[in-house]
A and B are shown apart, each in its own frame.
Chain A
Amino acid sequence: MDPLTPDFDVIVIGSGISGGWAAKEFCDKGFKTLVLERGKDVKHVEDYTTANTAPWEMEYHGRITQKEREENPIVSKCYAYGRTTEHFFVKDNEHPYQQDRPFDWIRAYQVGGKSLLWARQVQRWSHFEFERPQRDGYGIAWPITYDDLAPWYTHVEQFIGVSGNNDGLEEVPDGAFLPPWEMNAIEKHIQKEIKRQYPNRTAVIGRCAHLTAAKEIHREQGRNQCMARTRCERGCPLGAYFSSNASTLPWAKKTGNLQLKTHQIVSKILYDPKTEKATGVEVIDAYTKAVKRYSARVVFVNAATINSNSILLNSTSERFPNGLGNDNGLLGRYLSFHNYRGQVTAIHRGAPEAYYYGRRPTSVMIPSFRNKTRQDAAFQGGYMMFYSATRQGWTRQQEGAAFGTDYINKSAQPGPWSIYMMMQGETVPQKNNRVYLSNQKDRYGIPKVTLDVGYTQNDELMLADFLEQGAAMLKKAGCEQINAYETHQAPGLDIHEMGGVRMGNDPSTSLLNQYNQMHLCKNVYVTDGACMPSTGVQNPSLTFMAITARAVDYAAAQLKNRSI
């Protein structure tokens, strides 16, 4: 590895949702880019082996056995984990980690990472998300504003394809949308009642990364319109939802500038104290355990939040004994997530004549209405709600006969409307919520990750508010049999972990500047969830992608003018 003639212009660590975007943007700009993926290859279409499997073709009709559940107590809690998707998840015993407090770490080690498995809900963050932590005193100032990111949101939305409606709401800004999905009769009824009875609350159709109408840019990617299957987590043969596998990585490959290497576990970033820059990375081959080094002028860290933290913490040197760029000791701290602990179910007896056709990959969302322009609730931060209405199926209780031909025929008919509502709450960044490295090592000789993350009283207050408000809103909308309850789920199961390598204006309280460049190592950028100073209310993935595209644009300019 010759520092004077690096192997590549750029190394991107990780091929998931943000790594794929970094690769695409750099390759589009003509930079020789190496993407290092620690897991297996997953080829678009070819490796979606269960995409068309019917339930009767699977052992136990697709149900996971109790033995498998006991062997995988963490990952089997994930809503998307099952017989048709298990091959895309890391099993609990494959890569053990340590927990000081319960944290359900859901991982996907393969090309595309969790972009194959994500829930695909994409809302722009509003200026409230960027301003509220400092305004209400629960976080540092974001070094960027909504206006800084807005053009990059548009850039990303146009490429990935986002269905949605321009609702004109300040709390969820409009975007470059494809046609929205439609609400059904009861969802529209609840929407109308909320609008009528709560002047400051609005229900709108969710925005998701599905092609409701494929445009030329999507056809160029080889992607097609969504067929409303909702077998998404198995991998979509149509490429109808956005994933690295269907979109950014093949696009980058077409430029001729991409090299993608699988089974390459990055153990550390190499640092040269003379230049005060990174020279490249050290990797361990997952099969042979052979150690290799790759050099580049720039390193983008996109290994997913916790692993990005882990790599930086393990990148020790004489200059940085506590991890790369970690003079302030904050690397790994302020790990945050989303509070998903509240759910409400109900039934509605209206619209008996209405039904729907197909399966919709999104739900209705109610943007945050708490602490909007000032802190007006007993807790800090905001939360949003999602709800959907479906006709009950054969699992419902019925009046009359308990078995027999008529019972089966009746079970097969659509039942009353069932309502499901859930919360997505911002958690306040806490210094003692952290990821750090254990003294124990994994099978590759890399220190194991330890997670010390928990809820706070603020989360309890927010949860209580959601349960009360959610139930009240559904009641006012005419719902019955309302059941508001707590899921008791541990942090991590939300799969929205963020922070640890946060952006900020002040190097004494942050690790990255406004362009995601490490304050103390200018050619290393972190643009996945690890960079986030706060979690916001909205889903985070669209923001990861927009931040990545913006950071690449900046880094590319720096590379061209030889500033890094």
Chain B
Amino acid sequence: MYFVFSSFKWQNARLKNMNRRTSLEVLLTSSLGVALLPQQLWSNNALAAVNEDAVPFYEAFSQHLLGDHYSAVAPLGVSIGCFIQNCLTEKGIKDLNTGLSQLQAHCLTRHKNRFEQLSHQQQQEVLIASFDPSAAPFPKAALFAQQLRGIALFHFFNTEYGATKVLRYLPVPGRYDGAVPLTSTARTWTH
């Protein structure tokens, strides 16, 4: 409850400093927001804070990263962008933006389109190359890909779905047992 209240308060402050189009988007999403999950509400609220050019890439990146799990948490692009904008150091933001620019430049040179406009197969190829230091399509591509993956995973595993359905969320274990067999279906504890 506190979360929803604070989100709206924060949003009102944001409205004062945004253009008309973005204001309308935020107002629209906030009017629908009451029916949304907190995570989605937060994502929509954060729209004005992010580099809007980057959001479609973050979204496409998340889709590839999460595979079948993506639909359970989508959209993630805005919240990832908002996290980068607010929680990273200036250098961290700069490094990610540089990496993103280089990746888009590579896509434009190689495929004549931005990453998010490429086919699913082409996107896969770019990402596979980016994660492979021996096939780096641009300088420090693997570092960029790993950093962004870390941020996206942080988001995913801290969503209610990621924490409870993919990991094992255990707010009240009740006891500690130091000797439990590891089964093939075991999942990492989170809290």
Contacts and interface: CB of A to CB of B under 8 A. Distances in A.
Interface stretch (B18-26, B50-58, B105-113, B147-155): B147-155
B64 interface: yes
B178 A356 contact: yes
Residue of B38, B167, B177, B188 ringed by the most chain A CB atoms within 10 A = B188
A229 B149 contact: no
Interface in A28-70: 49, 52, 54-67
Contacts of A354: 179-182
A412 B180 contact: no
Contacts of B166: 408-409, 412
Nearest to A353: B182
B144 interface: no
B131 A228 contact: no
A198 interface: no
Interface in A397-453: 402-409, 411-415
Given A65-B87, A66-B86, A402-B145, A355 B180 contact: yes
Contact of B176 (A358, A404, A412): A358
Given A59-B42, A66-B89, A227 B174 contact: yes
B186 A404 contact: no
B175 A357 contact: yes
A156 to B, nearest CB: 24
Contacts of A560: none
Contacts of A182: 176-179
A54 B171 CA distance: 8
A395 interface: yes
Contacts of B132: 402
A60 B191 contact: no
A61 B76 CA distance: 13
Interface residues of B, number: 59
B125 interface: no
A60 B10 CA distance: 13
B78 interface: no
A414 B181 CA distance: 12
A60 B86 contact: yes
A56 B149 contact: no
A403 B187 contact: no
B163 interface: yes
A564 B159 CA distance: 61
A181 interface: yes
Nearest to B7: A59
The A contact surface, by secondary structure, is loop
Contact of A357 (B2, B156, B172, B180): B180
Given A54-B160, A57-B3, A391-B188, A403 B65 contact: yes
Contact of A228 (B83, B160, B176, B179): B176
B55 to A, nearest CB: 17
Contacts of B189: 357-359
B138 interface: no
A231 B191 contact: yes
Nearest to B185: A413
A357 B176 contact: yes
A228 B156 CA distance: 25
A360 interface: yes
B173 A228 contact: yes
Contact of A352 (B39, B182, B191): B182
Contacts of B87: 60, 63-66
B36 interface: no
B176 A359 contact: yes
Contacts of B66: 405, 408
Contact of B178 (A59, A183, A402): A183
Contacts of A478: none
Contacts of A67: 86
Contacts of A359: 170, 173, 176, 189, 191
A55 B10 CA distance: 19
B136 interface: no
A404 B178 contact: no
A58 B186 CA distance: 27
A394 B157 contact: yes
Nearest to A205: B178
A230 interface: yes
Nearest to A402: B131
A353 B169 CA distance: 21
Contacts of B169: 54
B65 A408 contact: yes
B127 interface: yes
Given A231-B191, A402-B128, A413-B188, A63 B83 contact: yes
B163 A56 contact: yes
A356 B176 contact: yes
A222 B149 CA distance: 46
A358 B149 contact: no
Contacts of A187: 178
A90 interface: no
B121 interface: no
Interface in B57-110: 64-69, 82-83, 86-90
A405 B67 contact: yes
Contacts of A395: 150, 153
Contact of A56 (B158, B171, B186): B158
Contacts of B42: 59
Contacts of B86: 60, 65-67
Interface in A157-205: 181-185, 187
Interface in B116-154: 127-128, 131-132, 145, 149-150, 153-154
B116 to A, nearest CB: 16
Contact of B6 (A59, A229, A413): A59
Contact of A403 (B64, B173, B182): B64
A393 interface: yes
A49 B88 CA distance: 27
A403 B181 contact: no
Nearest to A229: B172
Contacts of A407: 65, 67
**What are the 6 tightest A-B residue pairs by CB atom distance, in nearest-first order?**
A405-B67, A358-B173, A182-B178, A402-B131, A61-B158, A358-B176
Given A63-B83, A358-B176, 14 more contacts: A54-B169, A56-B158, A66-B87, A187-B178, A355-B186, A356-B180, A357-B177, A394-B157, A395-B153, A402-B127, A404-B65, A404-B67, A405-B66, A408-B69
Interface of A: 49, 52, 54-67, 181-185, 187, 227-231, 352-360, 391, 393-395, 402-409, 411-415
11 contacts: A54-B171, A59-B10, A64-B87, A65-B86, A357-B176, A358-B177, A395-B150, A402-B128, A403-B149, A408-B69, A412-B187
